[in-house]
Amino acid sequence: NDSDTLDVIRRITRDVGSAYQVNGKDVRARDVQMLFADASTGAHSPALVRQGQISELINAKPKARRRILEEAAGISGLYQRRHEAELKLKSAETNLTRVDDVVEQLAGQLAQLARQAR
């Protein structure tokens, strides 16, 4: 995005639910979430420190502290993308296995038809 500003609009209707726009373009809710995760902004932004949050960070368990630091570093959105990529990869591997089974079955039929043609 070349612009210095970002317009995010959420419209809520009874029939459809929520509809989102970013700079006038229709987008999915996930796209808006990823936009804010990549920019490390939003409701849970590490740039906004509320009262008592520092003591929570000091007293936090290592996993919670790591999550906060990852959000501050701007890499929290990468985990969601990685998960989606892993799901796509698993689906592709399943499809490839199914295609291999079909090819094997067709090869058997082809061999049988070749014998019958002789």
Instruction: Tell whether 17 is covered by a domain.
Output: no
Domain that holds residue 114: 80-118
Instruction: Tell whether 110 is covered by a domain.
Output: yes
Instruction: Tell whether 34 is covered by a domain.
Output: no
Structural domain count of the chain: 1
Digit-coded pLDDT (tens) for 8-20: 888 998 888 899 9
CB within 8 Å of 80: residues ≥ 6 apart: 33, 34, 37
- Examine the pLDDT at 1 and tell me if it is beyond 60: no
Instruction: Tell whether 57 is covered by a domain.
Output: no
Q: What is the pTM of this model?
A: 0.49
The arrangement of strands across the sheet holding 25-27 comes to: 8-13, 17-22, 25-27
The burial of 38, by beta-carbon neighbours within 10 Å (0-12 exposed, 13-18 middle, 19 or more buried), is given as middle
Digit-coded pLDDT (tens) for 25-77: 999 988 888 887 776 666 556 666 667 777 888 888 999 888 878 877 778 77
- Examine the pLDDT at 91 and tell me if it is beyond 80: yes
Residue 87's pLDDT is 96
Instruction: Tell whether 85 is covered by a domain.
Output: yes
Instruction: Tell whether 47 is covered by a domain.
Output: no
Instruction: Tell whether 54 is covered by a domain.
Output: no
Which pLDDT band, with edges at 50, 70 and 90, does 96 fall under? very high
Instruction: Tell whether 21 is covered by a domain.
Output: no
